[in-house]
Amino acid sequence: MANDGRGGRESTRREYLQYGGAVVAGGLLAGCTGGGGSETTTESEDETTAAATTEAAAETETANETESTTEASESYSVSIEPVGEVTFDSVPETWVANNGSWADMGVALGLDAPMGVWLPGRYHTQYYDEIPDVSVDKSSIRQLWGDSGVGKEQFYELNADVHVADPNFLLNRGQWSEADIEEISTQVGPFFGNSIFSRGYAWHDDYRYYDLYEAFEKLAQVFQREDRFEAFEQVHEGFQANLAPVVPAQGERPSAAVVWGGGDEPEEFYPYIIDEGTSFKHLNDLKVNDALAATDVRDFYSNRGAVDFETLLEVDPEVLLVRGQEAKTREEFRNTVVSFMESHEVASELTAVQNGDVYRAGGLYQGPITNLVVTDRLARTLYDADERLFDAQRVADIVNGDL
């Protein structure tokens, strides 16, 4: 579905109607009046007046053509599936993001934080503590997801220029209709996004996914900040080059089970099979061996089923990577989750627990900055990398426009 979206705050439907009325009124007042009070003029005067009128009309037409060309050159279009081509009259100033993946991309581009995300609790802004002079006040970000999904009225209240979200997610998970999507797109601002974090949704099979940097480039085009994207791309390439010699050979890498377990004392876990979505980018870049892939344990996305410690003990992974724990520091995680497992009758028998190899797995929603942080963190945890594998100051410089 294609949308024509407004860009900045100057092109709303309300303002267009106001400006339209003013233009019409101005046109009615633009007629010519006679000169000198005389009812008769000489032929020479008539010719002179006619020539002047013709010249003025030509100048006006030229000016209008120039103005039209200038306005056309300021508008631009960006295409992304499943939305299609979105046209912006000017660069958006305010925005909403569905999750931390897109929110982090915006921060990387030097934008203000989005006005709202589905679940701010899963947008882990503490990762920015690793980057000098970069921070986000999460208290300013509104939570859009509630017990009944995402309320449509919130979009009118925020009145954002662009909604960086996959509309199909709202149709399939947010209890929206096609009419709701069309209404917000035309009355408030366009949608622009793709559910890149997971490959587990059947409704996404009919249109393409984007990897992290493909999506990042699209957002950079929306906000006309391709220079920052290109600078980040260079940082990412350097990081990958630094990471390559750190990753051990296939037979030397430990097998790891990735599970979701919330709270301080989790006893049930949702299993994740490592896939190609951006939520697994750090694990794929680290070439982590998936301990669950060759077992009978079904992926969380396939049946929403949970497993217990007894099931994990049957698999007995060398490493246990726990999601849902990113709000905790390393010390907090060890003093709660790991300590609980060490004292648990069944969990204490796990090889990963006995060897002290239970770690935070990294968040579901990763953008270019957060991905660097969690990949670097896990590289030093799993593979004993001696030093940071990316230049945090260079990241900060890009965010702050020092390219």
Maximum Cα–Cα distance for the chain, whole Å?
A: 112
From residue 92, how far is each of 176, 255, 372, 378 by CA, in Å? 24, 45, 27, 36
> Would you state the structure tokens that stand for residue 7, as one six-digit string?
């860009």
Q: What CATH number belongs to 78-243?
A: 3.40.50.1980
pLDDT at residue 304, rounded to an integer:
67
pLDDT in 10s for each residue of the chain, 403 residues: 444 444 444 333 323 222 222 222 222 222 222 333 333 333 334 444 444 444 544 454 544 444 443 344 589 999 999 999 999 999 999 999 999 999 999 999 999 999 999 999 999 999 999 999 999 999 999 999 998 889 999 999 999 999 999 999 999 999 899 999 999 999 999 999 999 999 988 999 999 999 999 999 999 999 999 999 999 999 999 999 999 999 999 999 999 999 999 999 999 999 999 999 999 999 999 999 999 998 999 877 667 689 999 999 999 999 999 999 999 999 999 999 999 999 999 999 999 999 999 999 999 999 999 999 999 999 999 999 999 999 999 999 999 999 9
- Report the candidate in 88, 83, 79, 150 with the shortest Cα–Cα distance to residue 119: 150
For 75-109, b where at least 16 C-beta lie within 10 A, e where not — what string?
ebebebbbbeebebbbebebbbbbbbbbbbbbbbb
Rounded to whole angstroms, the Cα distance separating 161 from 167 reads: 16
Identical topology for domains 78-243 and 250-399: yes
* Rounded Cα–Cα distance for residues 72 and 252 (Å): 58
How many beta carbons lie within 10 A of that of residue 402, not counting itself? 10
Q: Which of 349, 375, 352, 353 is nearest to 362 (CA)?
A: 375
In a 13 Å sphere around the CA of 235, the CA atoms on its Cβ side amount to: 26
**What is the distance between the alpha carbons of residues 173 and 171, in angstroms, rounded to a whole number?**
6
Token couple for 87: 């046209």
Neighbours of 231 (CB within 10 A): 20
Q: Which CATH superfamily is domain 250-399 in?
A: Nitrogenase molybdenum iron protein domain (3.40.50.1980)
Report the distance separating Cα 39 and Cα 19, nearest Å: 37
**What DSSP string describes 316-357?**
--SEEEEES-TTS-HHHHIIIIIHHHHHSTTGGGSHHHHTT-
What is the β-pairing status of strands 268-272 and 307-308? antiparallel
Rounded distance between C-alpha atoms, residue 114 and residue 138, angstroms: 10
Alpha-carbon torsion, ordered 9, 13, 19, 22, to 10 deg: -150
Residue 66 confidence (pLDDT): 44
Residue 191 DSSP label = B
Task: Supply the pLDDT for residue 149.
Answer: 85
Where are any strands of DSSP class E within 324-390?
A: 358-360
Domain boundaries of the chain, sorted by first residue: 78-243, 250-399
Q: How far apart are CA 294 and CA 274, in angstroms?
A: 11
Q: C-alpha 231: how far from its chain's center?
A: 18
Residue 108: what pLDDT? 98
pLDDT of the residue at 23: 26
3-class secondary-structure state, position 95: strand
Residue 147's pLDDT is 87
Q: How far apart are CA 222 and CA 111, in angstroms?
A: 12
- Give the per-residue pLDDT at 285: 98
Residue 249 DSSP code: P
